[in-house]
Amino acid sequence: MNQKRNTGRSSEGADKKGGYKRSKPASEKPVPENSKKKFSAKAGAGSAKPDDHTEKRKSYRKAESNAGETWKKKPGNSQFGKRKPATKKGSDENADVFQGQKSTIRLNKYLADAGICSRREADRLIASGVVEINGKVITELGTKVGPGDQVRYGGESLKREKLQYVLLNKPKGFISTSDDPQERKTVMHLVENACKERIYSVGRLDRNTTGLLLFTNDGDLAKKLTHPKHGVRKLYHVTLDKPISKNDLIQILQGVELEDGVVKPDKLEWVESVSAKNEVGIELHSGKNRIVRRIFEHLGYQVVKLDRVVFAGLTKKDLPRGKWRLLTEKEVNMLKMF
């Protein structure tokens, strides 16, 4: 026989046995005497005036709000004194700012940034007594230069300039010098509008050699990129007057004895897309003059075309022949890691 389950609830709510008790409506609850609001007849019918305690709370909140506005108007003023800007832990007091009011740098860096030479070479110039600061000959290494100081070298006033880095895809027919007595076309004509600072080429390319050429006024970086010990990668696309044999490739990889010493490339292989076997890619870090042409001429080959396609990790991507571009910050940081 089915029996109704006793839930302990009625239609009007639960009884005490079920654990529930019906709550009275809000209108039936007794209101304590001390919580009743006081009304003023002067306020008019239907209007109410809060008691003194409520007024005090409003006054406190207003004062707190005003205090907040005062703080916003005078940032940096607090009970602990004027705030100082946060500085990076371990930062040098003589940080190289030079755009602001307070900055000093070492004299050798000043000379390097002015495009005179590298820092190491600058130390030798300073020690030899050919550098002046404010009319006084300086021979002490480590001397600091401030924004208002006048530096002279060889009787000429120097100015520390913004460091610039320009990459050119050199075309054929331009020589890699700043000036030419024979008034031939130089690479400086191609980058003359790249920046207002005076820049120099990092290394050279022959007149008939095309490809990547870097320009900068950063003497330290230029010295580093041209020194063989840093192993700066240079990749050339070489077109020869005839197919090169496998035996000659192996011989070149093993090292070629030239008049100024043995040269051994890092890599050498045929260009896969060319069936004639007269085009090769050669990678090396030697900075010797006309080194690629002399390697192949030593074995009886003539270089018809020579194009530098990679230099220190930089490529010709999106850089047409005869055009230049400024290096990105990421590329500059990469170069400084050598």
Catalytic residues: 206
186 DSSP assignment: B
3-state SS, residue 215: strand
How far apart CA 330 and CA 114 sit, in angstroms, is: 23
Token representation of residue 300: 């009886």
Spatial contact of 216 and 201, defined as CB atoms under 8 Å apart: no
284, 281, 288: which is closest to 240 by C-alpha? 281
How far apart CA 136 and CA 30 sit, in angstroms, is: 96
How far apart CA 285 and CA 288 sit, in angstroms, is: 9
Spatial contact of 116 and 158, defined as CB atoms under 8 Å apart: yes
- Crossing angle of the two packed helices 119-127 and 219-226, in degrees rounded to 10: 120
How far apart CA 158 and CA 98 sit, in angstroms, is: 15
Full DSSP string of 77-90: --TT-S------TT
